[in-house]
Chains A and B, each alone.
Chain A
Amino acid sequence: MSEFKSNSEFEKNVSASFGVPAVRPEFVNQVYANLMQQADEKSRKSHRFLGLRPAWAVASAILGILIISVFVIGPQRVYASFLKLFGYIPGVGIVNQSSPIRVLAEPVSITREDIIITVTSATLTGDRTQIEYRIFGVPQSAYPDRGDVIGCYPQEYLRLADGTLLTAVNYGYQPVPADINEAVFVIPCIPNTLPGRAPENWELPLQFVPAPADMVVMPVTELLPLPSLQVDIAQNSPAADAPVSPDDHVVMVSKVVDTTDGYILVGSFQPQVQPGETFQQVGALEIQDASGKEIAYTYPLDVNELINEEPNGSGWGAQIKATGLDYPLTISFLGVEIYPADPNATAEFSFDAGTNPQQGQVWELNQEIQLAGHTLKLVSITADSRGGYSFSFEVDPKVYSVGVQISGTTPIGVGGGGGINRIGDVNKFSVVISYEQRPTGVLTVRLSNLTLIGESITWEGQWSPETVRTDLVANPQLPAQVCLTPESLAQLQAAPAALTNGKVLLYEKLETGAWGLVVHELDGSQKQIVAQQGTWGALSPDGSQVAYPAADDHHHIFDLALQTEQVLPGLSGYDLHWSPDGKQIAYLGIGAGSVNSVNVINIDSHEVMQISTLSQQTIIGWSPDGLLYFAAPYTGSAAWKVFTYEFSSGTQQERFTIENGTPKFLNPSLSPDGNWIAYRGADNSSVYLVHPDGSDMHLILDNVSAVGIEWSSQGWLGVSLRKPTSDQSTVALINPDSCEAYLLPIVSEGDLEGLFIE
């Protein structure tokens, strides 16, 4: 056997013998749209505005036909009722109550080689054991430093005294028998570490006790909806003559979980369209009460289990506060119909890829092609990194997608293909075709299956609670230190002139459709593009320069006045933070063995200093006295440990732990006076403040879809806030001491990365 040498032709035959068709572009686009909808819900969290995103507005203008299908779940129509078996514990999720619930007696920690693993909680029910644990202190040297090398993926389990092993099941581990209150939680290895690089076979002895009597377990109600009712159909709508059938349960509320201040609603959204047509959702779901008030909601991560039960991945969830609501609530999904133009229409053209096309090679064509009565402008073709070609189109706003084939070839995959991505007066998209081996020479390209953006559709469902809750606080008061809420945000005034002399740096969507770094004047009067492809930028303390990692993998420093650019030697990183004197930049290093650890580069000497050995860190900022603050995450929780580095002594000091930060993008920022650290909360939407010694940690912006966080030298906290029904953001300025707050006259699709006020 050893003399056998595999060859690509034979391997291609092996691949072909499986007879797998190429994935359908329509499917690719539909799932992409679903993911974007979920992304919107995750990142925006609150829904206060009724405005439509631009693409939606465009589609509306084109056709202006609105179909509304409504079904009603009224209290008198609840089919079955209370699933007394199941309950909801905040922070834990859905629990089976068929047997007494037990919990962890106390957290258990083990430290080995400076690595700490802590089991923070356990919830034992009749059907499973849920265990939360977190890890801290794994050095970056324990992880692979190459993308093609992977480390350990542990299969944790519980071991009972008699040797029985309880292994993983969905959302936990097998249940611990009711008469056993001790077990050892075994973690064979730390996730993704390399063999021998970190301690293995961790054994944490756990003890379980009955859940405390005051443990809150809220009821879960399962509903069966009534048939859909079509209550309002615009004239000339095809659906007007075709009443929705009793089975048309498009927007469903299938489960309701009571919470201490409201409800978690879980349901499905399965839009129904004519055969051959699809539906693309535009924006996130919206909820209104009977008075027309927009209801803010958060995505209930701890009931993913219920959301995932919905058929065909159609589940949605929303957690709302219920005080003062008028019922019924209306849940709306906005979207557009996608339909084929002429299934038989095709068009062909040729292009010469040459005998040896190189990855990244671009053919600028700007060729207009007629297909099914529409003009498609093929802007360019690029030899992509997947062994194929990417075709970039500009089309009229009504065109959604087009199929692309290279005659006589069999692709292994098709991606891209369409979407609603209007830039100016055109819709832009690209189609990617991948091959085992890139086709060469003169290629005949066939376009077909043009699809169009059709009717605008709003699908709605309604829900009312079976009985009005009497346990809700009539007028819940937010903590006094909270400066902005979804409600008060809507009342914000424009910033006074004294606060509009300066600039902000945004990572934003450019007119070309690409994302880059842009500096705006605070009064909104003008802007300049710093980098067409930059992603992480930092504005210098005096507001005169922007540092960013460029596509050439070096740090660049752009002088805004002189329009000149300095390139620093050495590999770039991201999450850049200028020192107060503007002479150094702290950043997270990537590449060359550096995995997201903190580095500092001296701008003049170009000397680079790596100041930490942990991975996955985030930089908080520089204090006036020269300390560099940074944080490292616990694996498996929303906690971050805050450190400082003192340059003169070269010492690193642990400060405190942020327990309620988002594990995704904490975006912490230290105020220039060194008094506050601002960071995003675990809901990915709120902002908290804490003093650098860990004291006075408190909420300051409640559920306002906060993303970018930056301070001005005068102590104003700037926060970019995503609009819930569009990709646009606004920037608010907040004085954390007085709660004085304003909106800047800058609206863009982007996030705040720098703030300078004169």
Chain B
Amino acid sequence: MAESSITLTSEKIRREADETKLIKAAKKDPRAFGELYRLYVNQIFRYLYSRIGNLEEAEDATSKTFLAAFEAFDKFRQDGHFASWLFAIARNKAMDHFRQRDNSSSVDEIEDVPLENDPLLGVIQSEQTAALSRLIQALPEGDRELLRLRFLAEMSFPEIARILHRNEDAVKKMTYRMLARLNSQLED
């Protein structure tokens, strides 16, 4: 399976080296956590907006994610993978949001966000994007979550595998199959 742009680049490796330094600095000085925040705020916001679909509430969940991460940072091991840890918190905040929005919903129900509330009905900028958006809306929530983590949160396959509690190869295959299917459907 070709990895094309998904292949780890030297840029990504450099970024991870930078991240390691930032984590060490933040362990030493709490104010240095601000740089980790700068590094990840875009990804976390994009992911949460895609889940929640409302600017204000996505910002609120983003804020809560980083505040919770900051508070729990003492317990984060320096050799742990920060992105996986952070996105696990973000996913919990998204779940908290849906729980608070509708206390009567069960967790399982919440996992499958009703389409009328789904942020995938967001701004459409091109015809192909619009068609793609419709196809993505029709995907099961689990598949949409995979796409969010990969293409909005910009997570690596090992990171996604850890978060979704799945095998890395399986996650890769699922992603490529889904992309292939979407591509094929677009051409039909």
Q: Which of B6, B59, B79, B125 contacts A27 (CB 8 A)?
A: B59
**A192 near B77: Cβ-Cβ < 8 Å:** yes
Q: Does any Cβ of B come within 8 Å of A414's Cβ?
A: yes
Q: Does any Cβ of B come within 8 Å of A191's Cβ?
A: yes
Residue of A nearest to B47 (CB): A20
A:7-46 near B, CB below 8 Å: 7-8, 10-11, 13-24, 27-28, 31-32, 34-36, 38-40, 42-43
Most buried by B among A413, A432, A615: A413
The 5 closest A-B pairs by CB, nearest first: A19-B122, A413-B42, A147-B16, A4-B180, A39-B30
**B34 near A39: Cβ-Cβ < 8 Å:** yes
Quote the shortest CB–CB distance from A319 to chain B (angstroms).
Answer: 15
Take A23-B41, A359-B11 as given contacts and tell me if A313 and B179 are in contact as well, using a CB distance cutoff of 8 Å.
no
Chain A 451-475: CB-based contact to B (< 8 A → 1; otherwise 0): 0000000000000000000000000
In the complex, A175→B8 CA distance in Å?
44
Quote the shortest CB–CB distance from A607 to chain B (angstroms).
Answer: 25
Q: Does any Cβ of A come within 8 Å of B33's Cβ?
A: yes
Quote the shortest CB–CB distance from A239 to chain B (angstroms).
Answer: 25
**B33 near A35: Cβ-Cβ < 8 Å:** yes
**A415 near B5: Cβ-Cβ < 8 Å:** no
Chain B 1-42: CB-based contact to A (< 8 A → 1; otherwise 0): 110111010011111111111001101111101100110011
In the complex, A401→B75 CA distance in Å?
34
**A635 near B123: Cβ-Cβ < 8 Å:** no
Q: Which of A8, A32, A148, A635 contacts B38 (CB 8 A)?
A: A32
Q: Which of B2, B15, B34 contacts A32 (CB 8 A)?
A: B34
B:151-169 near A, CB below 8 Å: 151-152, 156, 158-159, 162
In the complex, A434→B45 CA distance in Å?
14
**A1 near B148: Cβ-Cβ < 8 Å:** no
**A35 near B66: Cβ-Cβ < 8 Å:** yes
**A31 near B42: Cβ-Cβ < 8 Å:** no
B:140-187 near A, CB below 8 Å: 147-148, 151-152, 156, 158-159, 162, 176-177, 179-184
Q: Which of A16, A31, A415 contacts B63 (CB 8 A)?
A: A31
**B75 near A5: Cβ-Cβ < 8 Å:** no
Q: Does any Cβ of B come within 8 Å of A412's Cβ?
A: yes
B:74-100 near A, CB below 8 Å: 74-75, 77-81, 84-85, 88
**A312 near B63: Cβ-Cβ < 8 Å:** yes
Most buried by B among A18, A21, A415, A574: A18
| 24 A-B pairs with C-beta separation under 8 A | A5-B2, A6-B6, A7-B5, A10-B179, A11-B5, A11-B6, A11-B151, A14-B182, A17-B133, A18-B46, A18-B133, A19-B119, A19-B120, A20-B49, A36-B34, A40-B30, A42-B30, A147-B17, A148-B159, A149-B158, A385-B15, A415-B42, A535-B21, A727-B31
Question: Which residues of A are found within 8 Å of B158, using beta-carbon distances?
Answer: 148-150
A:112-150 near B, CB below 8 Å: 140, 143-144, 147-150
Question: Which residues of A are found within 8 Å of B19, using beta-carbon distances?
Answer: 147
**B159 near A663: Cβ-Cβ < 8 Å:** no
**A2 near B66: Cβ-Cβ < 8 Å:** no
Number of residues of chain A lying within 8 A (CB) of chain B = 78
Residue of A nearest to B3 (CB): A6
Take A147-B20, A313-B63 as given contacts and tell me if A18 and B122 are in contact as well, using a CB distance cutoff of 8 Å.
yes
In the complex, A94→B177 CA distance in Å?
48
Take A19-B122, A20-B50 as given contacts and tell me if A192 and B133 are in contact as well, using a CB distance cutoff of 8 Å.
no
In the complex, A11→B5 CA distance in Å?
9
Q: Does any Cβ of A come within 8 Å of B55's Cβ?
A: yes
Q: Does any Cβ of A come within 8 Å of B103's Cβ?
A: no
Question: Which residues of A are found within 8 Å of B123, using beta-carbon distances?
Answer: 19, 21
Question: Which residues of B are found within 8 Å of A615, using beta-carbon distances?
Answer: 79
In the complex, A292→B147 CA distance in Å?
57
Question: Which residues of B are found within 8 Å of A42, using beta-carbon distances?
Answer: 30
In the complex, A106→B128 CA distance in Å?
64
Beyond the given A13-B129, A32-B37, could you list 18 further A-B residue pairs with CB under 8 A, ordered by the A residue number?
A11-B151, A13-B126, A14-B179, A17-B130, A18-B50, A18-B119, A31-B37, A35-B33, A148-B156, A149-B81, A150-B80, A308-B71, A313-B64, A385-B14, A385-B18, A410-B125, A416-B38, A590-B20
Q: Which of B27, B43, B70, B132 contacts A14 (CB 8 A)?
A: B132
Q: Does any Cβ of A come within 8 Å of B67's Cβ?
A: yes
Question: Which residues of B are found within 8 Å of A13, using beta-carbon distances?
Answer: 126, 128-129, 132
Take A35-B33, A313-B67 as given contacts and tell me if A414 and B42 are in contact as well, using a CB distance cutoff of 8 Å.
yes
**B81 near A150: Cβ-Cβ < 8 Å:** yes
Number of residues of chain B lying within 8 A (CB) of chain A = 87
Q: Does any Cβ of B come within 8 Å of A304's Cβ?
A: yes
Q: Does any Cβ of A come within 8 Å of B68's Cβ?
A: yes
Chain A 376-392: CB-based contact to B (< 8 A → 1; otherwise 0): 00000000011100000
Residue of A nearest to B180 (CB): A4
Quote the shortest CB–CB distance from A669 to chain B (angstroms).
Answer: 14
Q: Does any Cβ of A come within 8 Å of B113's Cβ?
A: no
Quote the shortest CB–CB distance from B111 to chain A (angstroms).
Answer: 16
Q: Does any Cβ of B come within 8 Å of A84's Cβ?
A: no
Question: Which residues of B are found within 8 Å of A28, using beta-carbon distances?
Answer: 38, 41
Question: Which residues of B are found within 8 Å of A24, using beta-carbon distances?
Answer: 55, 59
Chain A 147-161: CB-based contact to B (< 8 A → 1; otherwise 0): 111110100000000
In the complex, A303→B177 CA distance in Å?
46
**B151 near A15: Cβ-Cβ < 8 Å:** yes
Total number of residue pairs linking A and B with CB closer than 8 Å: 228
Question: Which residues of A are found within 8 Å of B112, using beta-carbon distances?
Answer: none
In the complex, A635→B79 CA distance in Å?
12
Q: Does any Cβ of A come within 8 Å of B110's Cβ?
A: no
**A143 near B136: Cβ-Cβ < 8 Å:** no
Question: Which residues of A are found within 8 Å of B126, using beta-carbon distances?
Answer: 13, 16
Take A11-B5, A14-B151, A19-B133 as given contacts and tell me if A147 and B81 are in contact as well, using a CB distance cutoff of 8 Å.
yes
Question: Which residues of A are found within 8 Å of B71, using beta-carbon distances?
Answer: 38, 301, 304, 307-308
**A15 near B156: Cβ-Cβ < 8 Å:** no
Question: Which residues of B are found within 8 Å of A10, using beta-carbon distances?
Answer: 179, 183
Residue of B nearest to A8 (CB): B5
In the complex, A31→B41 CA distance in Å?
10
Q: Does any Cβ of B come within 8 Å of A77's Cβ?
A: no
Question: Which residues of A are found within 8 Å of B17, using beta-carbon distances?
Answer: 147, 591
Most buried by A among B63, B120, B152: B63
Q: Does any Cβ of B come within 8 Å of A664's Cβ?
A: yes
**B152 near A664: Cβ-Cβ < 8 Å:** no
In the complex, A591→B159 CA distance in Å?
20
Quote the shortest CB–CB distance from B120 to chain A (angstroms).
Answer: 6
**A6 near B81: Cβ-Cβ < 8 Å:** no
**A20 near B46: Cβ-Cβ < 8 Å:** yes
Take A5-B2, A8-B4, A31-B37 as given contacts and tell me if A616 and B79 are in contact as well, using a CB distance cutoff of 8 Å.
yes
Quote the shortest CB–CB distance from A298 to chain B (angstroms).
Answer: 14
Q: Does any Cβ of B come within 8 Å of A221's Cβ?
A: no
Residue of B nearest to A633 (CB): B77
Question: Which residues of B are found within 8 Å of A386, using beta-carbon distances?
Answer: 15
**A415 near B148: Cβ-Cβ < 8 Å:** no
Residue of B nearest to A4 (CB): B180
In the complex, A416→B123 CA distance in Å?
25
Q: Which of A23, A313, A663 contacts B74 (CB 8 A)?
A: A663
Q: Does any Cβ of A come within 8 Å of B124's Cβ?
A: yes
